[in-house]
Structure 1
């Protein structure tokens, strides 16, 4: 399947898919996946005991190439062939519920946190306790906790993770004499200076919808604290409160420093503004911008933690999403899926992956960190120094709330920053309805 993240077709297609998934369900994801099948191996039929079908959200060149490398290594190590259905990230994520309720592949890419626990609670996943009996020694207690459902069983195998931070081009900053801010006042003063220097101060792009969620998360954690943020994400209570309104009021101060036409730009276009020295800073994940700063540019990528707003909370919390794999409720090749997941849960497999995709950090113990790039090393230090770690809005809250409600409501705010009260009232009503209807 070809991905078109930079074209207008992608946005309209995602809107169509979202409407279908939330409405009549006339457009289901399984046929889309079938049409996008790689066509290799068993074709996902499950008739070949040596083949495991895999649903991937990584249709772009990287990390697709890194997956192809690690799957080839998996075949050599285990004898298991991996038949992949490559689907672009947004389409996969927007339609995951329909996908899991249809005829999904044996194993698929997904995320730790509430997103994993939600589908485990829906009975749409297989436990992977047997996998963990083999890989448990490879992981810290913190990683183990992130891989369990609320029933105490394992449903997730962590593979990589990465921080969200404020990224910049080192050579640009050196030429301008900029230094990393630690407080909000220093941050906005730097943005003002960048603007006077003829730069776009903050490369902000939100055509994809989800990138803006990272800015909300950091502002909320910096202003109201990690506990307030996580309770807001998981309970749906408190959206129409003074604390949340203050977050949007604070956010509004940054909009004059954003990329012109940011609602029509993809995150790749924003990252290119940083690479090309057109913009000074960008709030994004290493997993994304690290795929733009490659080769000779890799060492030129710098970052700093999102600045302090409320000194009571400082820079304690770091947004560090964990990516990995899950097994569907009724895999056609259960034994093969277990073997594949056992392999992917090793430092060896993750080291191979990172050799092709140095935009993440391995989750397993034993990876040779001396082979990390400078951004990877800095990212590891940032995460290890955090007092609290969040997963990202669309992972820390319910899937039927994050994308259908928060994504368009945040875009409405960015399009009309003066409409905060009405937007929060709307979010609050929808949150209460969703939590009341679904428990």
Structure 2
């Protein structure tokens, strides 16, 4: 049964089964991201694999060569790689040996290896310990993915791989104007809550900041926190939240200026207002004890209805599936209007591509690495990923016909309601990891009240200026 204002599963799949990201009212929304730019540094040459004439083996993979795959075992776990993508690779090359590693310590495990020249063929670079991709690119460690995007797709050899994915994949692949990164998933980052709790209490989602704080008072009287984020292994969740709130207030230009290292970008009105608003929420409705919790511990607290809103992405539903009680139903809430003059209306939501995959240019089997990614971008590989992780991929139409969970349905409905009001990604996370890491430190400091919102913005701007002036750091630019 469909109620007024709801969307059917068929409509959902038409919108988030990836076709909606290519054509129709949402066209270009996900592609409104970065374009790599030159300047301020240079990148080492990348490995480029010459394409062969064989559509079934366009990279000339040697079936006798083993393949090494390293996966970030976070919200998506790593069984999608071990039990699906790697098995598909073995089916294509019978008898091949694959070394699989699933870890949450990507940087800790791989930095010493990379320094020693021992590089995996496929790397899912994600999580709080992710490697600096711009630095890897500068050292020539990332293989050129242009041959992958120009290769025939597995499902239809008459089509290139680039024509089977949302355009944001190609736009976001670039570092220094080279296609070096594959973003594999479509995610929605916003405030997540328990729809069943709200229904049982008769609460409605707050649309204004006054309604948000009023709900905070109501929840506080019942011993429930309005909001919390993990201070350990997850403060970047709150950094994202502040950045997207700033875009809600001042428009996407706030994020574009930050990414482009524009002078005084961190001191923009929207940024200062966003930080001040969330610091005030923490002071009045938060609990500093959460600064000592990691993301899993904080997420369990939400499952126990000890907090209402949690700033995270759509991977949360799969990550907590085994712990989720029957009376908990994940749903997504847009950021409430912070001011009466917010440039983006209530309902604006962040939608982006993410979950980075790269191929090691100096690995033992870069040809196999490219083929592995091509298999991931097949409908079988993408559909299987969605079934295992309950998250969408960037492959057009791969989710058609799947029975999707409540949280993902909620995110799709929110995206539908947002229309053109899509908050873009903040790209400096991948471009200038030092700046992003500094931001994750500073967000804890300001949220704890140890510095003011003005000091936070000043500190971030000073760090951005240092990076801008550092000629050793390759600079990137985006126009939208």
Interval containing the TM-score (normalised by the shorter chain)? 0.7 to 0.9
Matches of 1:300 and 1:251 in 2, distance apart? 25
Cα-to-partner distance string for 1:131-164 (whole Å, 9 max, x where unaligned):
112222321323322223442x422333222111
Is 2:196–2:328's contact at 8 Å kept on the other side of the alignment? no
Matches of 1:61 and 1:387 in 2, distance apart? 27
Is 2:248–2:423's contact at 8 Å kept on the other side of the alignment? no
Q: Structure 1 residues 177 and 81, CA, compared in 2 at 3 Å: closer, same or farther?
A: farther
Of 289-298 and 327-336, the range deviating more from structure 2: 289-298
Aligned residue in 2 for 1:424: 457
Which structure 2 segments of 5+ residues have no match? 1-60, 153-160, 475-480
| Secondary structure at 1:370 match in 2 | coil
Matches of 2:243 and 2:112 in 1, distance apart? 27
Aligned residue in 2 for 1:36: none
Q: Does 1:86 align with 2:102?
A: yes
Q: Structure 1 residues 336 and 289, CA, compared in 2 at 3 Å: closer, same or farther?
A: same
Aligned residue in 2 for 1:339: 371
Is 1:167–1:282's contact at 8 Å kept on the other side of the alignment? yes
Matches of 2:363 and 2:63 in 1, distance apart? 13
Which structure 1 segments of 5+ residues have no match? 1-45
Aligned residue in 2 for 1:56: 71
Matches of 1:240 and 1:328 in 2, distance apart? 34
Aligned residue in 1 for 2:334: 305
Report the alpha carbon displacement of residue 179 of structure 1 after superposing the two structures with TM. 0.9
Matches of 1:96 and 1:409 in 2, distance apart? 26
Matches of 1:361 and 1:391 in 2, distance apart? 17
TM-score (norm 1): 0.78
Matches of 1:424 and 1:94 in 2, distance apart? 30
Matches of 1:144 and 1:233 in 2, distance apart? 18
Aligned residue in 1 for 2:146: 129
Equivalent residue for 2:125, pick from 110, 122, 127: 110
Size of the aligned set, in residue pairs, is 386
Of 250-259 and 102-111, the range deviating more from structure 2: 102-111
Report the alpha carbon displacement of residue 83 of structure 1 after superposing the two structures with TM. 1.3
Cα-to-partner distance string for 1:285-309 (whole Å, 9 max, x where unaligned):
1213531145774971112212222
| Secondary structure at 1:127 match in 2 | coil
Equivalent residue for 2:448, pick from 390, 411, 415: 415
Of 219-228 and 422-431, the range deviating more from structure 2: 422-431
Q: Runs (4+) of structure 1 moved beyond 4 Å?
A: 93-102, 114-119, 294-299
Matches of 1:398 and 1:178 in 2, distance apart? 41
Equivalent residue for 2:278, pick from 251, 255, 263: 251
Report the alpha carbon displacement of residue 398 of structure 1 after superposing the two structures with TM. 0.8
Cα-to-partner distance string for 1:228-269 (whole Å, 9 max, x where unaligned):
222113316325625233322222221021244121011212
Structure number with higher helix proportion? 1
Matches of 1:239 and 1:95 in 2, distance apart? 35
TM-score (norm 2): 0.72
What are the residue-to-residue correspondences of 1:26-425 with 2, within 5 Å?
Answer: 49-58=64-73, 62-79=76-93, 80-88=96-104, 91-92=105-106, 100-102=114-116, 103-110=118-125, 119-120=136-137, 123-132=140-149, 133-134=151-152, 135-151=161-177, 153-208=178-233, 209-235=235-261, 237-238=263-264, 241=267, 243=269, 244-255=271-282, 256-294=284-322, 297=326, 300-309=329-338, 310-314=341-345, 315-358=347-390, 360-371=391-402, 372-383=404-415, 385-392=419-426, 395=429, 397-403=431-437, 405-416=438-449, 418-425=451-458
Report the alpha carbon displacement of residue 395 of structure 1 after superposing the two structures with TM. 2.7
Report the alpha carbon displacement of residue 354 of structure 1 after superposing the two structures with TM. 2.0
Matches of 1:196 and 1:182 in 2, distance apart? 21
Report the alpha carbon displacement of residue 326 of structure 1 after superposing the two structures with TM. 1.0
Matches of 1:434 and 1:83 in 2, distance apart? 37
Larger relative contact order (CA 8 Å, sep ≥ 6): 2
Aligned residue in 1 for 2:57: none
Matches of 1:306 and 1:61 in 2, distance apart? 23
Aligned residue in 1 for 2:466: 433
Cα-to-partner distance string for 1:364-383 (whole Å, 9 max, x where unaligned):
01213432222223323444
| Secondary structure at 1:163 match in 2 | strand
Is 1:354–1:361's contact at 8 Å kept on the other side of the alignment? yes
Of 289-298 and 307-316, the range deviating more from structure 2: 289-298
Report the alpha carbon displacement of residue 415 of structure 1 after superposing the two structures with TM. 2.0
Matches of 1:380 and 1:239 in 2, distance apart? 31
Is 2:186–2:354's contact at 8 Å kept on the other side of the alignment? yes
